[in-house]
Chains A and B, each alone.
Chain A
């Protein structure tokens, strides 16, 4: 009797661990077909009215970006993650303004910039920035100075409306240095000592002539957000706000 109970217990334990493993840790299934993608997008976010899937961009094993065109000729983006044993749309946007997907919030080296620019905006290439405003503070006679930061990366559209760009290693190092010091500040309850705004992302689109491109068709989108996925806005910066070389 005792033996039977033990065997029964072991079987239950094995079954549940297999289930848990399957649910949380198993490798992703084959990705969805274009038709399934359109259906799923329109199911969770009907307003967007997706029509054509442009491509399936592999970000990593568990994350994909799907650019699409809508029925009313907008260029949208959907972000997909393998979660709880299924492919889920974690973010859908019907205007593909560049955003930063913190694919794994704990690992800044795989933060990825994602875009789908409407062809009407005639963008040929874009410059992305990691910026921090210069700042200073004097409190109780103690002075602090916070240098300005401006790192740059260029991405060409190469005739495609959409694309992704993993942030450069230098950006990741700078982000990490601020993340770590902020973590230490929170532990010490010192959050407000430095008022300086932290690093942020910026972008400027250019036409093939080298002039700044005006973004019209790629703006004013609606978006759908599900879960705790971290997707950062990228600020449009004018050439005049930048420190030129």
Chain B
């Protein structure tokens, strides 16, 4: 639940750290000193910009175009003497957008290396408190076989989702009886630092997992069933 996206957080800190470092360099060079909190406010305002956004699956790439924050500060303080000092920090704020752009570009491949999309144990890592609940009347009275799940997870293979086929095979049965995924796996925890949030459905014979994330779905198959006969 409180699963933070560690890589995103670290890169954000790195981005701001770099901005802070540049601000420090500018600050040292200047002969007239202004208070630090003013520098911070100017930096933050300077970041505001009009940008072009591209959505690449889960992440948005922002290309800053118009320095709205800088203009606003200029309009506010442009005619004062201090502007000569302020403007460096205001433009640094705008420039920080490009630092963040670089961190975003680093983020995507880095995230996929640490948390590969096509591995089931990224979505289900800790199963200490996991259990199975039947979410459809056709479910058999089965329970989770933790040992088997633990063994199968690293070996599971991603396969394609046949949404229409699955939908119609259930929906068009005369008595509307079946559901391909009549169980939910609850209480499992995704890999540490992945920031993932998942719903895990388990297939009839216990050999398939359909995993929903906020953005996507993944379907994994195992060789052995992860369910065992109910008591």
Indicate whether A and B interact.
Answer: yes
Residues of A within 8 A of B (CB): 134-138, 142-152, 170, 173-174, 177-178, 180-181, 183-185, 188, 190, 193-194, 243-245
Question: Which residue from A143, A152, A174, A180 sits with its C-beta under 8 Å from B161?
Answer: A143
The residues of B that contact A183 with a CB separation of less than 8 Å are: 197
Q: Are B170 and A134 in contact, with the CB atoms below 8 A?
A: yes
Task: Determine if A145 and B216 form an interchain contact, defined as CB atoms under 8 angstroms apart.
Answer: no
Report yes or no: A145 in contact with B210, Cβ–Cβ below 8 A.
yes
Assess whether A170 is in contact with B167, with CB atoms less than 8 Å apart: no
A-B pairs, 6 with minimum CB distance: A136-B163, A147-B181, A143-B163, A145-B163, A184-B197, A184-B214
Instruction: Give min CB distance, A158 to chain B, whole Å.
Output: 25
Expressed in whole angstroms, the minimum distance between the Cβ of B165 and any Cβ of chain A is: 9
Contact (Cβ within 8 A) B199 A178: yes
Sample (20) of A-B pairs whose CB atoms are under 8 Å apart: A135-B167, A138-B163, A142-B216, A143-B164, A145-B167, A146-B212, A147-B180, A147-B181, A151-B135, A152-B137, A170-B133, A177-B199, A181-B199, A181-B212, A188-B215, A193-B215, A243-B136, A243-B177, A244-B177, A245-B137
Min CB distance, B12 to chain A, in Å? 14
| B184 within 8 A of partner (CB) | yes
Report chain A residues within 8 Å CB of B135.
147, 149-151, 170, 174
Q: Using a CB-CB cutoff of 8 Å, which residues 174-220 of chain B contact chain A?
A: 175-177, 179-182, 184, 186-187, 197-199, 201, 210, 212-217
Q: How many residues on the B side are at the interface (Cβ–Cβ under 8 A)?
A: 38
Q: Which residues of A contact B138 (CB under 8 A)?
A: 243, 245
Whether B58 lies near A188 (C-beta < 8 A) is yes
Q: How far does the alpha carbon of A184 sit from the alpha carbon of B137 in the complex, in Å?
A: 29
Task: Judge if B160 is at the interface, Cβ distance under 8 Å.
Answer: yes
The closest CB in chain B to the CB of A194 belongs to B212
User: CB distance A188 to B214 under 8 Å?
Assistant: yes
The answer to whether B166 touches A136, judged by C-beta atoms less than 8 angstroms apart, is: yes
Q: Are A190 and B214 in contact (CB under 8 A)?
A: yes
Does any Cβ of A come within 8 Å of B1's Cβ?
Answer: yes
Q: Of A142, A148, A194, which one neighbours B136 at CB under 8 angstroms?
A: A148
Select from chain A the residue with minimum beta-carbon distance to B171: A134
Query: What's the least CB distance linking B92 to chain A, in Å?
Result: 28
- Are A143's CB and B182's CB within 8 A? no
With beta carbons under 8 angstroms apart, the residue of A135, A181, A245 that contacts B198 is: A181
Question: Which listed residue, B1, B182, B184, touches A173 by the CB 8 Å rule?
Answer: B184
Separation in Å of the A195 CB from the closest CB of chain B?
A: 13
Find chain A residues with CB under 8 A from B58 CB: 188
Chain B 31-50: CB-based contact to A (< 8 A → 1; otherwise 0): 00000000000000000000
Chain B nearest CB from A245 CB (Å) reads 4
Which of B133, B184, B197, B215 is close to A180, meaning CB atoms less than 8 Å apart?
B197
Instruction: Kindly state whether residue B112 has any CB partner on chain A within 8 Å.
Output: no
- Give chain B nearest CB distance to A76 CB in angstroms: 34
By a CB distance below 8 angstroms, the chain B residues around A190 are: 214-215
Question: Which B residues are CB-close (under 8 A) to A148?
Answer: 136, 170, 179
